[in-house]
Amino acid sequence: MLSSNVFLLVVQATLYFTVMMTLLRARKSLGIGVFMCALGVMHFLETYLASVFYIQLPFGIISPGSTVMFSGKLLMILLLYIREDAAVVRQPIYGLLIGNFLIVGLVMILRNHNTVSVVPGHVPDIGFVDEMGWLMVWGTILLFLDSVGIIVLYERMGNLFGRHLGWRFLFCGAVMLSFDQAGFYLALRYISQAPIEVFLGGWMAKMFATVVYTGFFITYLKFFDDEKRWLTHRPFRDVFQVLTFRERYQDLLETTSLDHLTGAFLRRRYDAHAPEILKECLEAGKPLSMLIFDIDHFKGVNDRLGHQVGDQVLKAVGKLLKENVRQQDSLYRVGGEEFVMLACHLSADKAVGLAERIRKQIEQVSDVTLPEKVTVSIGVACAPDDGARLDDLFRVADQRLYEAKHRGRNRVSGPSPLA
């Protein structure tokens, strides 16, 4: 019985996190309103469960509404703040607070109606609605305090935890959910004389939920997103006051740095960011491979078939290169028909293998989809063996690119060249 309760709680948390994180991730295509509506529509259910629905666990009596739904809501608000800005995260909090006060106001008017019984034995329980309304108001006031607190704490803990995002997330969730459990228990104690076991069991359950949600978040970052995009450290005055629009600015910056034809980053992006990427890899003791791609006889394609076909070739090659870029890698168009790929944590032999695979793909796909077969020559260099500075690494990769061309083109030349 107890083990099945624990299992069902984990299933609920898994479903909650999966759906809400999917909506958060898809907010650019679906709209942020979908995420906010899903966040708010469960508010009545979680309050109802927190007030009357309890289950027995090994460490005490707890409510799934408080453990799974409210804990998940608070942590989702933190994630929304991290991915968006103060202006966006205020909307669901204020909306819930105003909506709950509206419920109380409407119920005060509704209770004055003279009602009739349409279904025998079914009569409205205004007393229950009153109780739920005030619990929802109190719960939302706590949510407001929790949300401000967890965001302030998250920013304050930036210096302590640094890049350890999981520990930062876990610590902030545990502290604020402890505060929330104490606040909500006071209301339950006042309204329904809930025993102290409800507080203790609920607190332990929320700590368990925080650990579970943190595990889900770390797993999400590992397989579906880049942790660097989630790291923030803002001054206190920014929290709920200054609109940072961080992610929108990043998206705008990336969009203006993209080559509209191939989708690769432009040369100025390479000049600005590539040195930092190399530095981070070297400081972490990891290799960084640079692959330079040059389309063979591209000028001849333009001369014979026209620039429109030349653009078609560039698009096709750019598309194939982007399909082979991992999440941690970067692709740049640094010349008319020349591309550079920076492959983080990729050793020289694996980089040569990647280059050879891409070379074959371009040759095979172009033979089917383009007016004539297109090939590329590729030079590969790997830091730190081929250089610890970006210019040195580029020079070595460029030399190997020309070696590939002198050997007949449509080849890869690197530290361990493949025939």
Between the two ends of the chain, the Cα-to-Cα distance in Å is 64
List C-alpha distances in Å: 410 to 86, 227, 251, 298, 359: 52, 37, 36, 12, 7
Give the pLDDT confidence score for residue 249 in this predicted structure.
47
**Beta strand pairing call for 376-383 and 412-413:** parallel
Q: Does the structure show a pLDDT above 80 at 1?
A: no
Sheet holding 376-383: strands in order across?
330-333, 338-344, 288-295, 376-383, 412-413
> What would the pLDDT profile of 290-339 be if each residue is shown by its tens digit?
999 999 999 999 888 898 999 999 999 999 999 999 888 999 999 899 99
| d(C-alpha 91, C-alpha 28), whole Å | 17
Q: Does the structure show a pLDDT above 90 at 230?
A: no
Give the pLDDT confidence score for residue 254 in this predicted structure.
59
Residue with tokens 């619990």: 135
126: three-class secondary structure by DSSP: helix
Q: Does the structure show a pLDDT above 50 at 283?
A: yes
CB 130 within 8 A of CB 107: yes
| d(C-alpha 363, C-alpha 162), whole Å | 46
Q: Say how many C-beta atoms besides its own lie within 10 A of residue 69's C-beta.
A: 23
CA angle 134, 32, 167 (to 5 degrees): 80
Task: Give CA torsion, residues 262, 263, 269, 275, to 10 deg.
Answer: -90
- The counts of H helices and E strands in the chain are 17, 7
Name the least confident of 24-38, 46-60, 125-139, 236-250: 236-250
Beta bridge partners of 380: 291
Q: Does the structure show a pLDDT above 70 at 418?
A: no
- Options 131, 337, 338, 403, the catalytic residue: 337
CB 293 within 8 A of CB 317: yes
| d(C-alpha 317, C-alpha 33), whole Å | 38
Does 337 participate in catalysis according to the annotation? yes
Looking at residue 68, its amino acid is V
Percent of the chain clearing pLDDT 70 (strictly above): 87
Give the pLDDT confidence score for residue 152 in this predicted structure.
81
Give the pLDDT confidence score for residue 113 in this predicted structure.
82
> What would the pLDDT profile of 96-116 be if each residue is shown by its tens digit?
888 878 877 887 887 788 877
Q: Supply 355's token pair.
A: 């280059």
* Ramachandran angles phi, psi of 114, nearest 5°: -90, 110
Burial label, 136 (beta-carbon count in 10 A; 0-12, 13-18, 19+): buried
Q: Does the structure show a pLDDT above 70 at 227?
A: no
| Banded pLDDT at 162 (limits 50, 70, 90) | low
More confident residue, 79 or 85: 79
Query: Average pLDDT, whole number, for the chain?
Result: 83
| d(C-alpha 315, C-alpha 166), whole Å | 39
| d(C-alpha 248, C-alpha 226), whole Å | 16
Q: Does the structure show a pLDDT above 70 at 231?
A: no
Q: Does the structure show a pLDDT above 60 at 238?
A: no
Looking at residue 201, its amino acid is G
* Mean pLDDT of all residues in 340-364: 94
Q: Which domains does the chain have, with CATH numbers?
A: 2-111+124-238 (no CATH), 264-413 (3.30.70.270)
Q: Does the structure show a pLDDT above 80 at 242?
A: no
| Banded pLDDT at 358 (limits 50, 70, 90) | very high
| d(C-alpha 119, C-alpha 167), whole Å | 54
> What would the pLDDT profile of 45-80 be if each residue is shown by its tens digit?
887 787 778 888 877 778 888 888 888 988 888 888
* Mean pLDDT of all residues in 361-369: 90
Give the pLDDT confidence score for residue 350 in this predicted structure.
93
> What would the pLDDT profile of 181-219 be if each residue is shown by its tens digit?
888 788 777 766 777 877 888 888 889 999 999 999 888
Percent of the chain clearing pLDDT 90 (strictly above): 36
